[in-house]
Amino acid sequence: MFYNKKINYTYDEYLEHLKLTKKFEKENINYHLNYEKEQTFKNITTTITNNKYVIISKIANPAIHFVIKHPKLVEAIDNFNPLVKE
């Protein structure tokens, strides 16, 4: 989902969302989540699909999305380990 405005919800709503997302992961073998304790970038998300595509999205307005399918670049992004985290 690409939405240009912030979606605000309460902490309880966030916990419910997280619970339902974990349930969805258990029920769908092709869906996997990686949980990160620290954020590398505040307004950038990275989604890797089947090690074939990477979607890099800048969330802050204006939203920008890149889809990358070059195998070596996908592998490099998948193995990215930042030295500094925000």
Residue 4 is predicted with a pLDDT of 62
CA distance 48 to 6: 23
> Taking the CB of residue 54, how many other CB atoms lie within 10 A of it?
21
Q: What is the pLDDT along the chain (86 residues), one digit of tens a residue?
A: 556 667 788 999 989 999 999 999 999 988 888 777 777 777 888 888 888 899 998 878 788 899 999 999 999 988 887 776 66
Q: Could you tell me if 82 and 76 are in contact, meaning their C-beta atoms sit under 8 angstroms apart?
A: no
> For residue 65, what are the contacts with CB-CB under 8 A and spacing of at least 6?
2, 55, 56, 57, 58
- Each domain of the chain, given as residue ranges in start order, spans 11-78
Which residue in the block uniquely carries the two structure tokens 């592998």?
75
Q: What is the pTM of this model?
A: 0.60
pLDDT at position 59: 79
Confidence at residue 30, expressed as pLDDT on a 0 to 100 scale: 84
